[in-house]
A and B are shown apart, each in its own frame.
Chain A
Amino acid sequence: MIWNDEFETLPREAIQSLQLKRLQQTLQRVNATVPLYKRKFNEAKVTPEQIRSLEDMQRLPFTLKQDMRDTYPYGMFAVPLEQIVRIHASSGTTGKPTVVGYTRRDIETWTELMARSFVAAGAHKGDVIHNAYGYGLFTGGLGAHYGAEKIGASVIPMSGGNTKKQIMIMQDFGSSVLTCTPSYCLFLAEAAREEGLDIRDFKLRVGIHGAEPWSEQMRNEIEENLGIKAIDIYGLSEILGPGVGIECIEAQTGLHIWEDHFIPEIINPETGEVLPPGERGELVITTITKEGIPLIRYRTRDITRLIPEPCICGRTHVRLERMSGRSDDMLIIRGVNVFPSQIESVLFNIEGVEPHYQLIVERDGNLDTLEVQVEVNEKTFSDEIKVLQDLGNRIRKDIKDLLGVTCKVRLVEPRSIARSEGKAKRVIDNRQSD
């Protein structure tokens, strides 16, 4: 099923000419209304008029998260505050949060794109959508909520946390679609089992998961443990919130990014150069319809590649490969680039090992050390020391073979790694303090 047949299946040439027209309008607008962009364009010696094709975009300067911090709170707004009808903010783990404002039309756009996303994920009118993304300053809850209402589904505004109640309501209300982070999804399944319940017996059919990177193996784990189809959704509050891109249930391979509203580019995160089609690098997004905060070439820090091949679902919008990590989550251990998601894949490939792990990075003298903590469970536990040591050695060897980095593996008791109700905290890097 396709929500907006006309726009979602627009021929490529039509998408590109629409993108160029909308890009040019956006550039004119930000040049006139956002002092930061006027200055950036001056510094890069480029004017909106010089952008005559999509290739010309490469001349435009990037926008960084730091730019949003520097202009905190309202400096990036391209419209007067009285035209802003909603303000969200991203969790400011370091210092001040990042603030985003939406005009009435931005909210309509967001609602439309979330409606498209729900339908692409296989949701429809008549579904009971259990929305366990946090409501509040975080964009997840409200973003998903509006789109779910738009398609005519019945929305349960659960928000995050209160796991026992989540399970009770999911069972009693007959939730058929679940939206939450992938790690929380597994946490729910585990908590249900402890109550003697099996989510596979519930009416749940589809899970829509995002807000943190996850692997294909984790998808299998979710699909198996909850008896659902698990769909990857992509979004970030600076650009819109959830609904920037989504997998279609037909292919479950790559996330369609709504190209009539965004222009994606893939760059080398070190040099800023645009990479040839199909190569993996950092995703950069330009918004071309946003009014509140239009962003030009925003560096998302997410690592992915574009999948240009046509999709079996009929949508013509390009797909992003599943995010393989964030360029700022990337750990550099003794000069080797390591993404937590790579360690996760290694663990998933070992029979019986569960996806509960944590990476501890320390500095011992001048040497970085990586410790991988993995929970022991009934399947991996043995009465014999050597079997457990073999398990540790196997994990260490697989990580070494795949990532080229030596680590220490520490087996820990079950449930000793904190379960997060929001985003999983996979990395504890103790090197920053020295």
Chain B
Amino acid sequence: MKVAQISIFIENKTGRLAEVSRVLGDAGVNIRALSLADTSDFGILRLIVDQTDKAKEVLKKEGFTVSKTEVIAVEVPDRPKGLYSILDILDKGKVNVEYMYAFVERCGENAVIIFRFDDVDAAIKVLTENSVQVLPGDRIYGI
């Protein structure tokens, strides 16, 4: 049920994002979804890619600090209040969202949202009990 995400430490200076994408591109790694969280000095680039281990390896080799985190991909109805319906379930289930971002591609008729929780297993339990579609990694890497 969990999806592997890689996070990369990036200093706020020109060319660093380009460098990450070049390194991944040269290794034939395709980015499936991404989000950039930034502060005035640094940012954290979070990526879901088709080849997680390979991406981590090539980035580390190029001197980047990389970590692997588990996130959850959830199918969300692509209509007004679609996102609310999911967040409401999480709220009622007292599950805290660390951060979230949307997938570029759709999965059939639905949008895909990536969630990072402090308690991943509790989140999966709450979501599946409420019949929310949690997507497995294999589906996500190949979208």
Contacts and interface: CB of A to CB of B under 8 A. Distances in A.
Q: Are A and B bound to each other? A: yes
Interface of A: 376-378, 381-385, 388-389, 410-416
B11 A412 contact: yes
A385 B39 CA distance: 8
Nearest to A378: B65
Interface-central residue, B7, B11, B16, by most chain A CB under 10 Å: B11
A429 to B, nearest CB: 21
B11 A414 contact: no
Given A385-B37, A385-B44, A413 B63 contact: yes
Contacts, number: 49
A413 B67 contact: no
A416 B11 contact: yes
Main secondary structure of the interface of B (DSSP, over half): strand
B67 A389 contact: no
Contacts of A388: 9, 39, 42, 44
Contact of A383 (B11, B39, B42, B69): B69
A383 B63 contact: no
B64 interface: yes
Interface residues of B, number: 20
Interface string B97-134: 01100000000000000001000000000000000000
Contacts of A382: 67
Contacts of B67: 378, 381-383
Given A381-B7, A411-B9, A411-B11, 6 more contacts: A376-B65, A378-B65, A381-B67, A383-B69, A384-B99, A414-B63
B10 interface: yes
7 contacts: A381-B7, A381-B65, A382-B67, A383-B5, A383-B7, A383-B67, A410-B42
B64 A413 contact: yes
B134 to A, nearest CB: 20
A410 B41 contact: yes
Contacts of A413: 9-11, 16, 63-65
Contact of A411 (B37, B42, B46): B42
B98 A377 contact: no
A244 to B, nearest CB: 39
B106 to A, nearest CB: 26
Interface-central residue, A383, A388, A411, A413, by most chain B CB under 10 Å: A383
A410 B39 CA distance: 11
